[in-house]
Homo-oligomer: A and B are copies of this chain.
């Protein structure tokens, strides 16, 4: 069932809750792939009602980013989501979420939103935390599901939930990959045949970094070098960042003594891909 208005979704959920049902939310920007479907399946197992939001959120795109061209296919999404166990696909218009005079934001300040994607996309996480707050307020889920592929997003949202004392359990699900190891992403559809071939290097480079760590290299800077060198072997790859940070605080790390996030962002032509691994 596709619902497009906040009031209709609220009415539906109110009735469900009167029956004592729990609600799981899977926020997405649509154009669903197996990564999203793994989140929906996880939500299906743990909740009585599963809501999948399908909304390309304009405020998390920068002025020169791909908001207009981001792939959209609500009919296909609705079928895939329903087959994976969704009860409701919430697909609001931009005007429904952001009426003309909308001007309230939710922002996680500090280092955690300034590193990694926050450095190259300075307004991105403010858009994410604002829209996810809205979705939390509308759906009031017991649990919300996000992919580990967007590791920084998960860390930022966890901080938002803790700092603002939101009564919601955030659940992070593992990265789902293509058979050659490329992390699934709606943006993979942008890649040319040759770019698609070379894009496998993100996963390979992170693996090389993790292998080196497991063989004894504990210096973050040396591991960053190993990962970067591997990515640079691909002629079409242009590194945005390669970094290793404490997880989930995303504070700087020099010698690795506890859990860290190794994260990369790499451009192939106009397409920017991210991937990451946690180890330590």
Residues of A within 8 A of B (CB): 6, 10, 97, 99, 101-110, 112, 129-130, 133-134, 137-138, 140, 159-160, 162-167, 249
Contact = CB atoms under 8 A, between A and B. Distances in A.
A164 B106 contact: yes
Given A103-B159, A104-B159, A137 B164 contact: yes
A141 to B, nearest CB: 13
Contacts of A108: 103-104
Copies in the complex: 2
Contacts of A137: 164-167
A165 B134 contact: yes
A106 B104 contact: yes
In order of increasing CB-CB distance, the 3 nearest A-B pairs are A104-B163, A103-B110, A103-B109
Contacts of A165: 6, 97, 134, 137-138
A107 B110 contact: no
A145 to B, nearest CB: 19
A23 B92 CA distance: 29
A98 to B, nearest CB: 8
Nearest to A98: B163
B138 A104 contact: no
Contact of A105 (B10, B102, B107): B107
13 contacts: A101-B249, A102-B163, A103-B110, A104-B160, A104-B163, A107-B107, A130-B164, A133-B164, A134-B164, A134-B165, A137-B165, A138-B165, A140-B167
Contacts of A105: 106-107, 109
A101 B108 CA distance: 11
